[in-house]
């Protein structure tokens, strides 16, 4: 982290978290954040469900909800970018305050509730982006007051699909009431079938992933695996935020919403490893939750992930963390004799199951 970036983070942490996040996006677009370009190399370049990634370190959905900073983010060192979530109609989300820093725990709690400017506005920005080597995807969401939430996911994909490189079905946010009910086997199978039917009408076939919660029990994980394999989905993102509050020390610990950051690392990695076992290597997995270092990214890969994503760690480590993790991951792969990320996938899964 440069002295300027460190000073900027100190200033942002003196502000309301949501205001600070909006200012960080403006600063990024103004050229005040590090943008070293995609970090890559022969060990780091990898394939994810047909996507050619410069490196396997991605940006999770939520940082750039409305796709206003895609061009800059694509030069920030990430190997792929996910924006959104986008819902068919714009919605304000839940009342403020709805974002909390848990500094003592290196964590964040949010209860945004899919606040976004709507699929039409987001799609227009995605259509105008500069295409490059870093794939850009969209997280698909459902409106809070929708009469048919399953149909909402397909509707967003029908509109935005031609402008993105991949899409994610987000049925695991804890901040839209009863959304996680869609993770049940029958409901999820029907939802994914509908989304993939829309995907198959697009001129270019894009991979579609499903993002799952870390709070599922053993039976729930088995249902997810069976539904994913039966539907023909292209991969699973494990995991979203958690409702657990175990071991927290921050005065904000009991705020409602989804917890992300350092406390989620172990839980999400165990879920990732279990899903890897249940899917028998037949689906690529993306590991998310608590990654703040190259070592933690490497642990996710060795637990079964073909790629990883981060977000909350940027609150504490700055945007330069993405490039630092990618470079550190390259060094770890070289140290252990792996010629590629693919060779390392699942090599340490036994440590987590």
User: Looking at 24, 146, 172, 173, which residue is catalytic?
Assistant: 173
Q: Which CATH superfamily is domain 37-348 in?
A: Aldolase class I (3.20.20.70)
Query: pLDDT class for 172, splitting at 50, 70, 90?
Result: confident
* Distance of alpha carbon 195 from alpha carbon 156, whole angstroms: 9
214 pLDDT above the threshold of 80: yes
Q: State pLDDT tens for residues 25-36.
A: 999 999 998 899
- The owner of tokens 């997280």 is 139
What's the pTM?
0.97
Does position 202 have pLDDT exceeding 80, yes or no?
Answer: yes
CA distance 287 to 233: 16
173 is a catalytic site residue: yes
Q: What are the phi and psi torsion angles at 286 (to 5°)?
A: -115, 125
Average the pLDDT over each of 130-134, 174-178, 242-246 and give the range with the smallest value: 174-178
Q: What pLDDT, on a 0 to 100 scale, did the predictor assign at position 180? A: 76
Write down the pLDDT at residue 184. 81
Query: Concatenated DSSP letters for 52-84?
Result: EESSSEEEPTTTTTTSSSHHHHTTTT-SEEEEE
What is the reported pLDDT for 192?
94
Q: Give me the residues paired with residue 309 across strands.
A: 58, 288
Give the residue extent of every domain in the chain.
37-348
Percent with pLDDT over 70 in the chain: 100
- Per-residue pLDDT tens for 267-310? 999 999 999 999 999 999 999 999 999 999 999 999 999 999 99
**Contact between 185 and 223 (Cβ < 8 Å):** yes
């Amino acid at each position: 982290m440069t002295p300027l970036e460190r000073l900027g983070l100190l200033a942002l942490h003196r502000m309301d978290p949501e205001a600070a996040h909006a200012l960080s996006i403006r600063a990024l677009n103004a050229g005040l954040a590090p943008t070293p370009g995609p970090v890559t190399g022969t060990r780091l370049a990898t394939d994810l469900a047909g996507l050619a990634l410069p490196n396997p370190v991605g940006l999770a959905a939520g940082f750039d909800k409305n796709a206003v900073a895609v061009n800059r983010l694509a030069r920030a060192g990430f190997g792929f970018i996910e924006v959104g979530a986008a819902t068919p109609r714009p919605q304000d989300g839940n009342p403020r305050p709805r974002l909390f820093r848990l500094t003592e725990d290196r964590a964040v709690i949010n209860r945004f509730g899919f606040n976004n400017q709507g699929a039409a506005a987001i799609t227009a920005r995605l259509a105008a982006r500069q295409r490059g080597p870093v794939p850009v995807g969209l997280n698909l969401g459902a409106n809070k007051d929708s009469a048919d939430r399953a149909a909402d996911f397909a509707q967003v994909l029908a509109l935005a699909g031609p402008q993105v490189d991949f899409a994610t079905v987000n049925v695991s946010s804890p901040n839209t009431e009863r959304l996680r009910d869609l993770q049940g086997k029958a409901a999820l199978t029907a939802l994914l079938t509908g989304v993939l039917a829309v995907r198959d009408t697009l001129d270019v076939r894009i991979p579609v992933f499903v993002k799952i919660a870390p709070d599922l029990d053993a039976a729930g994980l088995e249902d997810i695996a069976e539904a994913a394999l039966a539907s023909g989905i292209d991969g699973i993102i494990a995991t979203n935020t958690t409702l657990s509050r175990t071991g927290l020390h921050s005065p904000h610990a009991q705020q409602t919403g989804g917890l992300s950051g350092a406390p989620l690392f172990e839980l999400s990695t165990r879920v990732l490893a279990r899903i890897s076992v249940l899917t028998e290597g037949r689906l690529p997995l993306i590991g998310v939750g608590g990654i703040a270092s190259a070592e933690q990214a490497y642990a996710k890969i060795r637990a079964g992930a073909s790629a990883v994503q981060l977000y909350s760690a940027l609150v504490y480590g700055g945007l330069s963390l993405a490039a630092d993790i990618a470079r550190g991951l390259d060094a770890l792969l070289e140290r252990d004799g792996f010629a590629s990320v693919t060779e390392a996938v699942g090599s340490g899964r036994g440590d987590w199951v």
